[in-house]
């Protein structure tokens, strides 16, 4: 139907003077945008297929390519933007729910960018991390309310099992299936080398990766895919996924086309069958049910592993977190509404949930008001973009952060937000062997290590500037933060003063 | 301008402490001479002293020292005290006029014992009951501020140079086995008497020089356990941390020092397995009570005194010994002025607690 | 010594190595100027069929058959690197037939050409190794 015609969003601009027709663009584009015209001996392109992933741009040896947003436009209308109009055409044509990938791209406030960090001047010295020890080791887990001593009066280690992180950063849940084997291997090896953890997501644990178990968080989600005794025992911690920031309140759906080979085996479902995770856990309809699952998992692993409960940041997050803190969970993970996903209904991704900064601040404060902040550790994720975001998150009250989008970017993701197509040109969100191969785990692992190491250096520099030489002294230290351009209510929720105060 | 307690004010300082291990009564003017030597480390915006063993005739009763802004506050507060305690004795704290000390509040002292009925009703230990009552007065009764609440000890403080504060309170008339002193150098304060140091809760008093960078992390943690940091000062939060760790958790002072000025992980890893496990436990268990940034503190408590520096030793602290006397001060001159011939003098390392106690145990 | 090794597991068949090789040995400083509108004659070649691909270039064998077979002494081995002196090459192509890997080939000017580990051009890391987007071609020391 002509109504359904949408002019391509991006245009491939090829500088004919620079193009040497080496055809690397053609060979590397899984969307088949580029092709060679032997008659005229020149490269051509069909931009209607372009997703703007930059694979061709990055590999072009002569910088002959760039992708630009088209200037083709609908009549300007503040309410009826081109996106709004185009989405209506698409839905009127298909009758379907719109799907999107990666985090919420809409223009909501980004509170990280309205928070500034303190530094020492005169009254107290800053500390140079190149000269003095600067500590970023973090322990996650519940803390008992009292010490214990043996008959001889010696302190008894009465701490329940927890996690020890050398850096306050973990890789958050991404399933094998939603991302490739090589992406998982890169994450697993990097987590091991960095002394931190990666997370299996709801896809089970490939048998090749059991060796990284001491640095693996195994997830139990509503579909229970890939969950069995050896799986639970393989990880250092078990995460119950109640929700995800990109799509709070709904489940997941990995199409049968991706359930092939090892993925089917790892998830323990037949090849070609859709992997549908229900919206709720059907054994958890309330908080007391959650408590039962927490203790079932602890029972199954002989109380040797901490249990994490992951929720999406929603309106009532503080009360929910308080309930979870009393449910036997050792760690609460909160995922903000800008968190990524392999696929989510567009409307949900863009309209459901709340910013992680506000969720974190209110959860931390609520748990303190109730005197139970020490019963759990808080891990937050969903839009941690750099080390300053981490410093701000920890000062607001987080123990550590989860990163996923940043980790994928380190692996080569260019945020084209087309994961759901399964044709990831960077070998990340795909299961096609010829594409998966594009991510060499030797390269991927090193890049992840580089990223986290670089961030850790920056965290240390910022801590040193504040005169803080151990990260626990930053946790919840909101006096180290000031808001800029925020209203009274926002400052009140964040629990920080305005700059200048 | 915001008052103390409404804004956080950084300050530099001088501290000094004197202790007699045999429990000999040291007159108050000795500590005044010591702290006066470090005049330049204060700026006249706060000075104070804590003396231990100074009320032998009332040693079984809590001595509440209270500042009142006016008679209304006094009336409300006294009604509250009467409702919760037996008042054994009450009086104005004797002072003398000193030209540089002005705007003094009403300063009263009460020797009290918690009412039996109240203890039974609340099911609290005597000390916890008293501590909670003090917290309630300080946060709920406007214009009343309890600045000392221990047994057989007392805090004396004011806005002014410490030597003037000592004369104001006629400290030469008191004698005790332990004295600590403080001269304050706040960068910016309207000067409130309650904001001067020492800061005390029950028999634990703290004088502190430094500006801790972990303040809000410490404050927000400790406030979960019934403490209210009304003054927004480092000393206040340090005092509560010590009270929490020692009185509520039952840690020894050495263990307390291992928490608040914990060794670096790199040092812990080099320790023998048992010690390594103990240190790892303490750092993990009480991670939010690690204090970072510069501090040197003197903690007075029933029967003892402890000196502690931050783990990088970003503030000066000297210890001297002569016979049964132990001296601890920001500068050696403050020790030499009262005891020129010392048996030993040294600078404790960062994070290394120096603890002295009475030979015969607590007083 | 360090040699070029290829790992077909990570080869994407993108052929960039060929272009970087051709450019490196072109003597030009700009890739467009060097390669625009010409057919390239690189010393490294991608072999591919179906989903398998890998780069082939001189392995600098410990017992090089090409050197042994060279009738004019144009091919020599020095410090493990086998190089060609085009002045001496008579174009008999015996070496091409002798090389079991197909890594020696005729050049545009009649003499043979082969990978010389970028020792005769700008030098440093061989251009194919530097240009490989997936580390499928590496330059490293390996135990024999």
Architecture of domain A138-146+164-498: Alpha-Beta Barrel (3.20)
Nearest-Cα residue of chain A relative to residue C127: A61
Q: State the fold for domain C61-114.
A: Alpha-Beta Plaits (3.30.70)
Taken as a whole, chain A contains a residue count of 501
Residues in CB range of B273: below 8 A, 6 or more apart: none
Query: Average of pLDDT values for A122-140?
Result: 92
> Residue A155 and residue B281: Cβ atoms within 8 Å?
yes
- Of B181-190, C46-55, C109-118, the least confident: B181-190
Report how far residue A228's alpha carbon sits from residue A233's, in angstroms, rounded to the nearest whole number: 9
Nearest CA in chain A to C132: A59
Chains near C, with 3+ CB pairs < 8 A? A
CB-defined contacts A:C, below 8 A: 60
Question: B11: which strand partners?
Answer: B186
CB contact under 8 A, C19 and A59: no
Q: What average pLDDT does range C93-116 have in this prediction?
A: 94
- Token pair of B191 as six digits: 């000067």
Phi (first) and psi of residue A135, to 5 degrees? -105, 130
A416 is in an annotated binding site: no
Cis peptide before A273 (omega within 30 of 0): no
- Pick from A77, A73, A54: which is nearest to A65 by CA? A54
Query: Are residues A170 and A377 in contact, defined by beta-carbon separation less than 8 angstroms?
Result: no
DSSP state of A473: G
Q: Considering only A294-298, C20-24, C106-110, C120-124, which range has the smallest mean pLDDT?
A: C120-124
* Chain A residues in contact with B272 (beta carbon < 8 A): none
Task: List CB contacts of B267: < 8 A, sequence separation 6 or more.
Answer: none
User: What does the DSSP assignment read for B207-265?
Assistant: EEEE--TTHHHHHHHHGGGT----S--HHHHHHHHHIIIIIIS---HHHHHHHHTPPPH
The total of other beta-carbon atoms located within 10 Å of residue A160's CB is 16
What is the model's pLDDT at position B189?
Answer: 56
What are the CA-CA distances from residue A297 to residues A228, A251, A287, B42, C63 (Å)? 11, 21, 16, 59, 62
Tell me how far apart the alpha carbons of residues A59 and A438 are, in angstroms, rounded to a whole number. Answer: 12
B11 contact A CB<8A: yes
User: Is A60 one of the annotated binding-site residues?
Assistant: yes
Q: What are the tens digits of pLDDT across the range C39-87? A: 999 999 999 998 899 999 999 999 999 999 999 999 999 989 999 999 9
| Residues of chain A positioned with their CB less than 8 A from the CB of C55 | none
Is C15–A22 a contact, with Cβ atoms under 8 angstroms apart?
A: yes
Determine whether the annotation assigns residue A419 to a binding site: no
A420-429, A485-494, B8-17, C94-103, range with the lowest pLDDT: B8-17
Residue-wise DSSP of B176-195: ESEEEEEEEEESS----GGG
Q: HSE of B43 in the Cβ direction (CA atoms, 13 Å)?
A: 10
Nearest to C84 by CA among C59, C65, C104: C104
- Give the separation between CA B21 and CA B177, rounded to whole angstroms: 8
In chain A, % of residues over pLDDT 70: 100
Considering only alpha carbons, which residue of chain A is nearest residue C20?
A: A61
B71-84 vs B126-140: helix crossing angle, rounded to 10? 160
Q: How far off is chain C from A444, nearest CA to CA, in Å?
A: 10
Of A371, A467, A468, the CB nearest to B224: A371
Cβ pair B177, B358 in contact under 8 A: yes
Q: Does C46 touch chain A (CB under 8 A)?
A: no
3-state DSSP call for residue A364?
Answer: helix
Strands of the sheet containing B199-201, edge to edge, are B199-201, B204-210, B295-301, B304-309, B354-357
Residues A191, A446 contacting (CB under 8 angstroms)? no
Which residue in chain B has the smallest CA separation from A501? B7
Any CB–CB contact under 8 A between A71 and chain C? Answer: no
Contacts of B277 in chain A (CB under 8 A): 157
List pLDDT tens digits, range A192-232: 999 999 999 998 999 999 999 999 999 999 999 999 999 99
pLDDT tens profile A355-385: 999 999 999 999 999 999 999 999 999 989 9
List A12's β-bridge partners, or say none. Answer: A67
> In this model, does residue B316 exceed pLDDT 60?
yes
A56 is in an annotated binding site: yes
Q: Do A124 and B211 touch (CB under 8 A)?
A: yes
As beta bridge partners, residue B204 has B201
Q: Please list every residue in chain A whose beta carbon sits closer than 8 Å to the beta carbon of residue B214.
A: 468, 473-474, 477
Domain A2-96 and domain A138-146+164-498 have a common topology? no
In chain C, what residues touch A23 (CB-CB under 8 Å)?
A: 15
Average pLDDT value over all residues in chain A: 95
Chain-centre distance of CA C11, in angstroms?
Answer: 16
Q: What are the residue ranges of CATH 3.30.70.20 in chain C?
A: 61-114
Nearest to B212 by CA among A467, A30, A442, A430: A467
Look at residue B1 in the predicted model and tell me its pLDDT: 47
Three-state secondary-structure class, residue C36: coil
Whole-angstrom distance, CA of residue B153 vs CA of residue B155: 7
Q: Is the pLDDT of residue B3 over 80?
A: no
Rounded alpha-carbon distances, angstroms, from residue B209 to A128, A190, A294, B257, B347: 21, 44, 47, 16, 16
Q: Which of B97, B93, B85, B101 is nearest to B54 (CA)?
A: B93
Contact residues, chain C, for A18 at CB < 8 Å: 32, 36
* DSSP annotation string for B269-306: HTS-HHHHHHHHHHHHHTGGG---S-EEEEEEETTEEE
Residue C67 near residue C83 (C-beta atoms within 8 A): no
Domain boundaries, chain A: 2-96, 138-146+164-498
Q: Nearest 5°: CA angle at B239, between B159 and B106?
A: 35
Q: Taking the domain A2-96, which CATH number applies?
A: 3.30.70.20
B168, pLDDT greater than 70: yes
Write out residues 52-81 of C within 8 Å (CB-CB) of A. none
Task: Kindly report which listed range (A25-29, A249-253, B80-84, B318-322) carries the lowest average pLDDT score.
Answer: A249-253
pLDDT in tens, A409-438: 999 999 999 998 999 999 999 999 999 999
Pairwise CA distance, residues B164 & B99, whole Å: 9
Q: Is A19 annotated as a binding residue?
A: yes
Answer whether residue B77 shows pLDDT above 80: yes
Looking at B13, B133, B178, B229, which residue is catalytic? B13
Q: How far apart are CA C105 and CA C114, in angstroms?
A: 6
Contact B306, B242 (CB under 8 A): no
Among chain A residues, CA nearest to B260: A473
Q: Does C94 touch chain A (CB under 8 A)?
A: no
Q: Is B13 a catalytic residue?
A: yes
CB contact under 8 A, A137 and B265: yes
Rounded-to-integer distance, Cα A381 and Cα A377, Å: 13
What does B14-63 look like in DSSP terms, one character per residue?
A: EEEEEEETT-PPEEHHHHHHHHHTTGGG--SS-EEEEEES--GGGTTSEE
> Is the per-residue pLDDT at C123 higher than 80?
no
- A and C adjacent (3 or more CB pairs under 8 angstroms): yes
Sort out which chain C residues have CB atoms less than 8 A from A61's CB and list them: 16, 19-20, 23, 31, 131
Distance to chain A for C40, nearest Cα, Å: 9
């Amino acid at each position: 139907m002509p109504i359904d015609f949408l002019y391509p969003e991006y245009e491939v601009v090829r500088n004919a003077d620079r193009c040497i027709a080496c055809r690397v663009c053609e060979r590397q584009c899984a969307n088949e945008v580029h092709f060679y015209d032997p008659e005229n001996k020149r490269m051509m392109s069909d931009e209607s297929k372009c997703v703007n992933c930059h694979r061709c741009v990055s590999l072009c040896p002569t910088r002959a390519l760039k992708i630009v947003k088209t200037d083709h436009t609908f009549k300007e209308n503040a309410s009826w933007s081109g996106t709004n109009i185009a989405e209506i055409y698409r839905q009127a044509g298909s009758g379907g729910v719109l799907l999107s990938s990666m985090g919420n791209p809409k223009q909501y406030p980004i509170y990280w960018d309205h928070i500034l960090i303190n530094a020492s001047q005169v009254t107290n010295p800053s500390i140079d991390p190149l000269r003095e020890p600067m500590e970023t080791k973090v322990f996650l887990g519940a803390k008992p309310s009292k010490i214990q001593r043996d008959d001889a009066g010696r302190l008894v280690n009465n701490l329940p099992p927890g996690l020890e992180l050398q850096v306050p950063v973990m890789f958050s849940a991404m399933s094998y299936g939603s991302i490739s084997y090589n992406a998982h291997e890169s994450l697993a090896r990097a987590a091991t080398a960095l002394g931190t953890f990666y997370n299996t997501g709801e896809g089970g644990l490939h048998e090749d990766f059991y060796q990284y178990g001491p640095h693996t968080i195994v997830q139990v989600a509503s579909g229970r895919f890939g969950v069995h005794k050896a799986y639970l025992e393989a990880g250092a911690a078990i995460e119950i996924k109640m929700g995800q920031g990109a799509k709070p309140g709904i489940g997941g759906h990995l199409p049968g086309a991706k359930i092939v080979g090892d993925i089917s085996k790892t998830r323990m479902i037949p090849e070609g069958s859709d992997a549908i995770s229900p919206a709720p856990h059907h054994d958890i309809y309330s908080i007391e049910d959650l408590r039962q699952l927490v203790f079932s998992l602890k029972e199954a692993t002989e109380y040797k592993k901490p249990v994490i409960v992951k929720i999406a940041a929603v309106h009532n997050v503080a009360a929910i977190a308080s309930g979870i803190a009393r449910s036997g969970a050792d760690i609460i993970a909160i995922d903000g509404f800008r968190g990524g996903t392999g696929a989510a209904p567009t409307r949900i991704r863009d309209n459901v949930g709340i910013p992680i900064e506000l969720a974190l601040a209110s959860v931390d404060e609520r748990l303190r008001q109730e005197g139970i902040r020490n019963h759990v550790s808080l891990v937050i994720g969903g839009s941690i973009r750099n080390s300053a975001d981490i410093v701000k998150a920890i000062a607001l009250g987080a123990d550590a952060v989860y990163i996923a989008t940043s980790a994928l970017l380190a692996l080569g993701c260019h945020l084209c937000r087309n994961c759901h197509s399964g044709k990831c040109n960077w070998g990340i969100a795909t299961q096609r062997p010829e594409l998966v191969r594009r991510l060499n785990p030797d390269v991927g692992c090193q890049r992840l290590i580089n990223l986290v190491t670089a961030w850790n250096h920056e965290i240390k520099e910022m801590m040193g500037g504040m005169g803080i030489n151990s990260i626990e002294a930053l946790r919840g230290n909101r006096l180290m933060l000031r808001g800029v351009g925020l209203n009274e209510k926002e400052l009140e929720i964040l629990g920080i003063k305005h700059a200048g105060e | 301008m915001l008052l103390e307690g409404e804004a956080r004010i950084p300050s530099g300082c001088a501290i000094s402490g004197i202790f007699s291990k045999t429990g000999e009564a040291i007159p108050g003017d000795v500590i005044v001479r010591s702290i006066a030597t470090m005049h330049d480390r204060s700026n006249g915006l706060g000075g104070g002293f804590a003396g231990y063993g100074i009320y032998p005739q009332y040693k079984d009763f809590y001595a509440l020292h209270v500042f009142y802004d006016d008679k209304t506050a006094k009336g409300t507060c006294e009604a509250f005290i009467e409702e919760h305690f037996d008042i054994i004795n009450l009086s104005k704290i004797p002072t003398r006029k000193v030209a540089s000390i002005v705007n003094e509040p009403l300063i009263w002292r009460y020797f009290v014992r918690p009412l039996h009925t109240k203890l039974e009703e609340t099911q609290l230990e005597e000390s916890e009951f008293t501590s909670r009552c003090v917290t309630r007065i300080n946060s709920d009764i406007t214009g009343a501020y309890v600045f000392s609440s221990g047994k057989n000890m007392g805090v004396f403080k004011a806005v002014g140079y410490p030597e003037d504060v000592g004369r104001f309170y006629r400290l030469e008339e008191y004698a005790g086995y332990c004295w600590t002193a403080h001269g304050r150098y706040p960068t910016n304060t309207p000067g409130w008497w309650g904001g001067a140091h020492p800061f005390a809760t029950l028999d634990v008093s703290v004088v502190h020089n430094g500006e801790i960078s972990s303040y809000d992390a410490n404050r927000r943690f400790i406030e979960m356990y019934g403490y209210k940091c009304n003054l927004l000062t480092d000393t206040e939060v340090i005092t509560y941390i010590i009270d929490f760790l020692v009185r509520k958790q039952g840690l020894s002072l050495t263990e307390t020092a291992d928490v608040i000025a914990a060794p670096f992980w790199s040092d812990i890893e080099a320790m023998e397995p048992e010690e390594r496990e103990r240190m790892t436990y303490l750092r993990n268990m009480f991670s939010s009570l690690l204090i970072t940034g510069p501090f040197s503190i003197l903690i007075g408590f029933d029967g003892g005194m402890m000196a502690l520096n931050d783990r990088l030793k970003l503030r000066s602290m000297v210890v001297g010994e002569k016979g049964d006397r132990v001296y601890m001060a920001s500068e050696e001159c403050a020790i030499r002025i009262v005891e020129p011939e010392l048996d030993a003098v040294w600078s404790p390392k960062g994070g290394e607690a120096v603890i002295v106690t009475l030979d015969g145990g607590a007083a | 010594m360090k040699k070029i090794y290829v790992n077909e597991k990570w080869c994407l068949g993108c052929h960039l190595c060929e272009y970087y090789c051709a450019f490196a040995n072109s003597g030009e400083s700009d890739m467009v100027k060097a390669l625009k509108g010409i057919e390239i004659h690189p010393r490294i070649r991608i072999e591919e069929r179906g989903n398998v691909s890998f780069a082939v270039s001189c392995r600098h064998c410990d017992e090089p058959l090409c050197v042994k077979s060279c009738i004019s002494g144009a091919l020599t081995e020095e410090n493990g690197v086998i190089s060609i002196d085009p002045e001496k090459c008579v174009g008999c192509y015996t070496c091409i037939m002798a090389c079991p890997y197909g890594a020696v080939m005729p050049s545009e000017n009649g003499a043979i050409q082969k990978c010389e580990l970028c020792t005769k051009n700008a030098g440093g890391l061989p251009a194919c190794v530097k240009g490989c987007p997936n580390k499928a071609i590496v330059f490293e020391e390996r135990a024999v």
